[in-house]
């Protein structure tokens, strides 16, 4: 089969388990067998699926592909996190990050090529928007990472949709991917260990709350006052903070779950102590945990991180006012894998 023909094939990962193809309607067990190979054993080719009849495997291979990526590159950081650069069938690229911890394996996934949100401090935002990723390209990141790292996909129990893109602007594919992650016949993850990050789109937050999934919602707030927010997050012009906070309240009423507030510490921009006080005011009545993230620099960003001292002061100010807070240092800075750094670099 030519490379061009192979590229044009649909990936099986675009299907949910009940939609997986079977040879004849009588053989519904084949769906389970396929799902086992794809999600439990992490097969990346049909040849690996040795208990399926050869003729059927050949038929599948003529119509579908498994791995949705043309090429996968790995960049290993000193702290053992690994940045993955995936080349898609149309030649575009996207990224994911694998973060091994003592007690868990976490992956940070992308939902888009680039990002339309254009946050001023984010290297992905500076790339602009390429396109939405398909379900196969989102789920495929997990499977490719497991395959390259040499373990079963089901060993990955923590997922954060915080890589490239605003997942809620790729709502349909992000949601169907999450449903495959939590399907017991697929990756069988707990929704409680899946974090979806958003820049703050009130309508989509409400819609997601109505799905009734106990996900972790992470709001990238980054500033408590409209003026600063508009300066660093273009979507703030369209969505006032009040609307976002109302949507968070709706989420909490529906799901009763704590919300993560992401706050990148930008020196001289959003790290004033009056902003810490205003943040406390803004979040009153919500069950939240604030993550202060020192800014991870990238070339020509025009921003610098707040000093360690200022970050501690800001943290203390919040915790003295009983706002749960911690400082989150990003991994993978030496390979451009840290929060806000993803920019398709080759090394």
Specify the residue, 42 or 165, whose C-beta has the smaller distance to ligand SF4: 165
HEC string of 103-137 equals CCEEEECCCEEECCCCCCCCHHHHHCEEEECCHHH
Length of the chain: 347
Which residue numbers are catalytic? 95, 339
Residue closest to ligand SF4 when measured from CB atoms: 125
Q: Is 174 in the site for ligand SF4 (CB under 6 A)?
A: no
By the rule CB under 6 A, 115 interacts with ligand SF4: yes
The H-or-E segment that residue 320 falls in is helix 308-320
With CB under 6 A as the contact rule, which of the stretches 61-69, 71-79, 117-125, 319-327 interacts with ligand SF4? 117-125
Question: Strand order in 82-87's β-sheet?
Answer: 71-76, 82-87, 93-100, 105-108, 158-161, 194-198, 216-220, 259-265, 288-294, 325-327
Hey, which residues between 198 and 237 contact ligand SF4 (CB under 6 A)?
Answer: 199, 220
Minimum Å gap between C-beta 7 and ligand SF4 is: 26
The torsion of the CA quartet 302, 95, 146, 185, rounded to 10 degrees, works out to 120
| Interaction of residue 119 with ligand SF4, rule CB under 6 A | yes
Choosing from 117, 156, 187, 283, the residue that interacts with ligand SF4 (CB under 6 A) is: 117
Window of 49-57, 65-73, 120-128, 149-157 that interacts with ligand SF4 by CB under 6 A:
120-128
Q: Which residues contact 276 (CB under 8 A, 6 or more apart)?
A: 314, 317, 318
Phi-psi region of 42 (alpha: psi -120 to 50; beta: other; left: phi over 0): left
Q: Between 154 and 343, whose beta carbon lies closer to ligand SF4?
A: 343
User: Quick check: 189 binds ligand SF4 (CB under 6 A)?
Assistant: no
Q: Does 13 bind ligand SF4 (CB under 6 A)?
A: no
Taking the least distance from each CB to ligand SF4, the nearer of 194 and 280 is 194
Residue 224 gets which letter from DSSP?
Answer: S
At 258 the three-state DSSP class reads coil
Question: Using CA atoms, how far apart are residues 210 and 206, in angstroms rounded to an integer?
Answer: 6
**Smallest gap, in angstroms, from Cβ of residue 236 to ligand SF4?**
11
Site for ligand SF4 in 135-164 (CB under 6 A): 164
Q: Which is nearer to ligand SF4, 117 or 194 (CB)?
A: 117
Secondary-structure percent of the chain, ordered helix, strand, coil, rounded to 5 = 40, 20, 40
Please list every residue from 24 through 83 that binds ligand SF4, using CB under 6 A. none
Residues that bind ligand SF4 (CB under 6 A): 115, 117-119, 122, 124-125, 164-166, 199, 220
């Amino acid at each position: 089969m030519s490379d061009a023909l192979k590229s044009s094939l649909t990936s099986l990962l675009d299907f949910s388990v009940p939609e997986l193809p079977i040879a004849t309607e009588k053989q519904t067990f084949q769906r389970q067998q396929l799902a086992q190979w794809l999600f439990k054993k992490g097969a990346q080719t049909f040849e690996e699926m040795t208990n399926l009849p050869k003729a059927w495997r050949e038929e599948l291979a003529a119509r579908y592909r498994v791995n949705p990526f043309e090429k996968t590159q790995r960049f290993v950081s000193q702290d053992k996190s690994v940045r993955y650069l995936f080349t898609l069938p149309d030649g575009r690229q996207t990224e994911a990050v694998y973060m091994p911890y003592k007690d868990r394996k976490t992956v940070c996934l992308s939902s888009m090529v680039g990002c339309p949100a254009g946050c001023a401090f984010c290297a992905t935002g500076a790339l602009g928007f390429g396109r939405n990723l398909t379900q196969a390209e989102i789920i495929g990141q997990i499977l490719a990472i497991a395959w390259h790292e040499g373990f079963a996909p089901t060993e990955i129990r923590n997922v954060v949709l915080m890589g490239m893109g605003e997942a809620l602007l790729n709502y349909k594919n992000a949601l169907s991917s999450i449903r495959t992650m939590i399907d017991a016949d697929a990756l069988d993850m707990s929704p409680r260990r899946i974090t979806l990050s958003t820049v703050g789109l009130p309508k989509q937050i409400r819609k997601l709350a109505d799905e009734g999934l106990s996900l972790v919602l992470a709001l990238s707030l980054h500033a408590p006052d409209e003026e600063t927010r508009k300066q660093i997050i273009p979507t703030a012009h369209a969505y006032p903070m009040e609307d976002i906070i109302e949507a968070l309240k709706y989420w909490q009423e529906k799901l009763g779950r704590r919300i993560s507030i992401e706050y990148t510490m930008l020196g001289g921009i959003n790290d004033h102590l009056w902003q810490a006080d205003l943040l406390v005011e803004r979040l009153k009545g919500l069950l939240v945990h604030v993550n202060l993230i020192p800014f991870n620099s990238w070339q020509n960003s025009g921003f610098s991180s707040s000093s360690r001292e200022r970050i501690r002061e800001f943290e203390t100010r919040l915790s003295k006012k009983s706002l749960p807070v911690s400082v989150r240092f990003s991994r993978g800075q030496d390979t451009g894998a840290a929060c806000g750094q993803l920019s398709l670099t080759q090394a």
